[in-house]
Amino acid sequence: MFTKLFKASKTSFVILNVLYLSLLLGGALYALKTFSSYMDIYEKAILLSSVGFFSWLGWNWNHFKKIIILVFALSLFAIQLYSGVLTNNEQVFLLKYLLSSQSAIMWMNVFFVLALVLYWLGLLAKNKLLDDIASSFTSIAILFGFTGLLVRWYESYLIGLDIGHIPISNLYEVFILFCLITSLLYLFYEEKFNTKKLGAFVLIVINAAVGFILWYTFDRHADGVQPLVPALQSYWMKIHVPANFIGYGAFSIAAMVSIAYLLSAKKILASYLPKLAVLDDLIYKSIAIGFIFFTVATILGAIWAAEAWGGYWSWDPKETWALIVWLNYAAWLHYRIVKGLRGTVLAWWALIGLIITTFAFLGVNMFLSGLHSYGEL
Amino acid sequence: MSFAISMLVFLGIASIIGTILKQNEPYENYIIKFGQFWFVFFEKIGLYDVYQSIWFLTILLFLVISTTLCVTKNSPIIFKDFLLFKDSLEEKSLLSFTHHLVLKNRKKVSLSRVIDYLKQEKFKVREKSKDNGDILIVAKKGDFQRLGYIFTHVGVVVICLGGLLDGNLFFKAQELLGYKKIETLDIPASKVLEVSRLRITNPSFRANMTLAEGSSDNVAFVRKKDGYLVQDLPFKITLKDFRIEHYSTGMPKSFESDLIISDPELSQDIATTITVNHPFTYKGISIYQSDFQDGGTNLDVKLWNLLNSSGSQKINAKIFEKIKLDKDQLTYEFNDFRKFNILNLKEGVKEKPRNVGPSVTYKIRNNSGQAREYISYQLAMLIDDRPFFISGMRETPQEEFKYLKIPADKNGSIAEFISFKEALQNKILIEMVAKKMTNRSVKSDNNSSVKQSFEDSVNKIMTLFVEGGFSNIAQNIDNNIPTNEKEKAVQAYLKIIDIASIELYKNYFNLSDKEIDQSAIRFIQESLNAYSDMFLFGSPYYFELTNYEQKEASGLQLTKSPGQFWVYLGSLSLVLGIFSMIYLHERKLWLLIKAKGGAIIAVSSNRKNIDFELDYRKVSQAIKKIIQ
């Protein structure tokens, strides 16, 4: 089993850490040495701080470390298979069906769908084995998703040296990012709270995103790599966008757990789910982490805006809605932390919060126009 | 506190209005949208610039004041608590804690081990011997959490103040007092009166400036409501060169402006290049690449006569200038030139948009002042794999363009269509063709009346078409043919036009039957459609751009925002505050070791949640182990 594979003894723990750190450092140093002339000082700083960030994450969370090592291995293997020729994605069997970015992302979709089904089966049958398989499938989906994004990053440079860029610039790409970040955060809580019962709920929102990716791929054919418009050509994108999506992901988890909470409070599925107090705590923790990242992302966005648009705040619809989302969760946290509010009201509120967040993320692009119209539907 | 929260809710709702109604549009758009009555009403309550309206700023100010009051009220308490170790608690009060544990120890308590344990758990520890011989150990940790409250709220206040500093409160006040007035007339900057000018000393502004290549200026414009203000600058900016680079797909890749900044206080000019995301800051004023437009491109144009006459005339035009054609009492106003146009020609088909080459937008104004807007593309575009020259026309800016599609000939020029058009307009040729057709179609020589009437009707139909296109034919059929025969007539008429046109084309270009192939027939049909559409085009000329000399202008944005530093500082404080409020856990612990034997552990936190329960259990059990 995948999870069994992940169970490690103490010596292998040390080996793993050494391997992980040397991969991160080695990769970063190689990139610095080889591509130094293509990067400005900020990009170098981001590269080095990402080594720190990933080390910290890996140090505190073993499972993450293993996923990242495998992502590294698979991506390097895929790059090896490409050997600098873009058309190899049709020629080489393993690329065509497994590791080219679009195939890998399809596999991610498949495993997310399977994981959702298995989480539900596991929940309803109270079957631990099914839960474990579902959880492993989620890990595999993450593995494929991250590999897909990294390979896509490489592919974008094969399309054209001036076209290459980090794949978080349009709706297709950020939806993948959303799936990955949300599921990673969920897996973290799954381990920390020692319950796999909530996957059935969290995977719903991830599968909604998967649905969107499929629609975007097959109906809109919008899964291709597009060159960056001048406003997006900035190192800020590498920090602003992921930070925002950690926020979105955490808010989504909070809303999904709120559904579980509300059902459980109404004695529906209550015997299948963790205790209300645990759910309540989990909702709070996800909103808290989401809020911090969302705050940071919005501030970084303001700093970027000051550089690109000439003002840190222009009351652009996207900015304004980010403020509304922020105010909403600020009030939520205020009522919980300061006023000590608990229970169904906050659960409902977290659910409504997701609607507001979704509007800020998608609705603004669909219905309102402004400076921020990069991902149009 | 709840006042502040309701203010925040109100602020949120007000912000939503601003995102739904597009802000700072030209006032005409609002009049069209709302009608005169509502337009005035909404203008009064500031809906077109919600975020700068008095009531919005007032809410913001209230928010700042109430948050400030909150902080000033609570800070002393928090600070006091931060510094204080509550060592005056008695046994009774410890027993009243929700989380306490009473121990009965037998052996002598090793105080140092307890203190070591607490320190290892990151507690700050204080020890106090009471008069009755009891020993009270007071420990606490995570008290920065309390400071988080101050950091968060001070952060919000500083951000708002920074924002207000950069907002236009200062101008608003001056406007209300009558010192400043918005200029609404379109006049040169030098003629704008002092009352509508902002001095160099103006502490904060966000202004725009458009410079054509080679030109320079030392004023910028601040757009306000339905007009503008002139902002004087402490230096002069010259645009040396403006460049747009494109990706191979035709999408813009970069916008760059080479600027020269001349400051009288400096002996040497500063040369710099700005791009999107890379502004240049001098004397506290940041200069951004914001957009671009035409800077007065020179155009060589051929105007081809379309209606009822032949030939063409050449004009030399320039974007932003006007040319009056005295003969027709028409004025051409040239508005824009674009070297690249990225279009998706196949609607609904998943195809990548591509560059279709240069275009000119212009208006044609007639004697009575009415104008139509036109767009003409220089190069032929492939539509369903056939090349056409495209010109669009619309009567009002709200409409979509309606297009005239003139087929390009084998040489990719408009010449063949123009010749064919002139042939159509040539009465003698038409009559000759009618005669030829008659001779071929009506075989019997003796029936001259049938012949004559056939020839007449060919002539009549062709004249109808030549004079007014297909719509003229349709109108004629509508007026003269009984309803039940209309359909038949339409088909007959169209057939005659087709055959006559092919005949005309063949004769005019001296072609044999063989040379009239499928592609020639398509060309003729496309020409007929184009000819018929000419009558709806509204202009007596076809506009052919023969040559151009491009001159671009760069759109710069200039901002001075002294509040930026404060906004960033406030943001930092806000993040630190939120982080400590959420991730630092305040814990207070008392351990009373009684001289008579026995001990009490009491633990408290300002937030009682699962984490607290776990911590309480862990710490109290550990101490219990040490003591017992």
pLDDT in tens, A113-140: 999 999 999 999 999 999 999 999 999 9
Q: Which residue on chain B is closest to A296 by alpha carbon? A: B575
Q: Which residue on chain B is closest to A291 by alpha carbon? A: B578
Whether B349 has its CB under 8 Å from any CB of chain A: the answer is no
Mean local confidence (pLDDT), B329-355: 78
pLDDT tens across B502-531, in order? 989 988 888 888 888 888 899 999 999 999
Alpha-helical regions (H) of B425-562 = 427-441, 448-480, 486-508, 518-537
CA distance A121 to A272: 12
Question: Which residue in A277, A278, A337 is closest to B607 by CB distance?
Answer: A337
Place B106 in a pLDDT band, splitting at 50, 70 and 90.
low
3-state DSSP call for residue A234?
Answer: coil
Place A213 in a pLDDT band, splitting at 50, 70 and 90.
very high
**Chain B residues closer than 8 Å to A303 by CB:** 568
Asked if residue A262 lies in contact with residue A344, where contact means CB atoms within 8 angstroms, the answer is yes
Pairwise pLDDT comparison (B568 vs B610), residue with the higher score: B568
Inform me whether the pLDDT recorded for B348 exceeds 80.
no
Asked if residue B259 lies in contact with residue B248, where contact means CB atoms within 8 angstroms, the answer is no
CA distance A300 to A313: 11
Inform me whether the pLDDT recorded for A47 exceeds 50.
yes
Q: What pLDDT score does B397 carry?
A: 83
CA distance A296 to A319: 13
What is the value of pTM for the model shown?
A: 0.85
Q: Do A364 and B19 touch (CB under 8 A)?
A: yes
Question: Which residue in A299, A323, A368 is closest to B15 by CB distance?
Answer: A323
ipTM of the complex: 0.92
Asked if residue A250 lies in contact with residue A178, where contact means CB atoms within 8 angstroms, the answer is no
Q: Which DSSP state fits A338?
A: I
Write phi, then psi, for A41 (nearest 5 degrees): -60, -35
pLDDT tens across B156-196, in order? 999 999 998 888 788 888 888 888 898 988 888 888 998 99
Asked if residue B146 lies in contact with residue B586, where contact means CB atoms within 8 angstroms, the answer is yes
**Structural element, H or E, at residue B371:** strand B371-377
Partner A, chain B 23-62, Cβ-Cβ below 8 Å: 23, 50-51
Whether B575 has its CB under 8 Å from any CB of chain A: the answer is yes
Alpha-carbon torsion angle A296, A301, A304, A309, nearest 10: -160
Place B350 in a pLDDT band, splitting at 50, 70 and 90.
low
Asked if residue B27 lies in contact with residue B35, where contact means CB atoms within 8 angstroms, the answer is no
Question: Which residue in B8, B288, B610 is closest to A310 by CB distance?
Answer: B288
Q: What pLDDT score does A2 carry?
A: 47
**Structural element, H or E, at residue B293:** strand B285-294
Q: What pLDDT score does A115 carry?
A: 98
Whether B457 has its CB under 8 Å from any CB of chain A: the answer is no
CA distance A322 to A205: 20
Q: Which residue on chain B is closest to A234 by alpha carbon? A: B277
Sign of the alpha-carbon torsion through A21, A27, A33, A36: negative
Place B484 in a pLDDT band, splitting at 50, 70 and 90.
confident
> How large a percentage of chain B has pLDDT more than 70?
97
**Chain B residues closer than 8 Å to A222 by CB:** none
Q: Do B252 and A230 touch (CB under 8 A)?
A: yes
- Token code pair at residue A119: 């989480």
Exposure b/e, B114-153, CB count within 10 A at least 16 = b: bbebbeebebebebeebeeebbbbbbbbbbbbbbbbbbbb
pLDDT tens across A254-300, in order? 999 999 999 999 999 999 999 999 999 999 999 999 999 999 999 99
CA distance B589 to B123: 9
CA distance B157 to B116: 42
Bridge partners for B541 per DSSP: B305
Partner A, chain B 189-218, Cβ-Cβ below 8 Å: 206
Q: Do A320 and B163 touch (CB under 8 A)?
A: no
Q: What is the DSSP string of A185-230?
A: HHHHHHHHTT--TTHHHHHHHHHHHHHHHHHHHHTS---S--PPPG
Helix axes A41-60, A10-35, angle to 10 degrees: 170
Q: Do A292 and B11 touch (CB under 8 A)?
A: no
Q: What pLDDT score does B168 carry?
A: 77
Whether A334 has its CB under 8 Å from any CB of chain B: the answer is yes
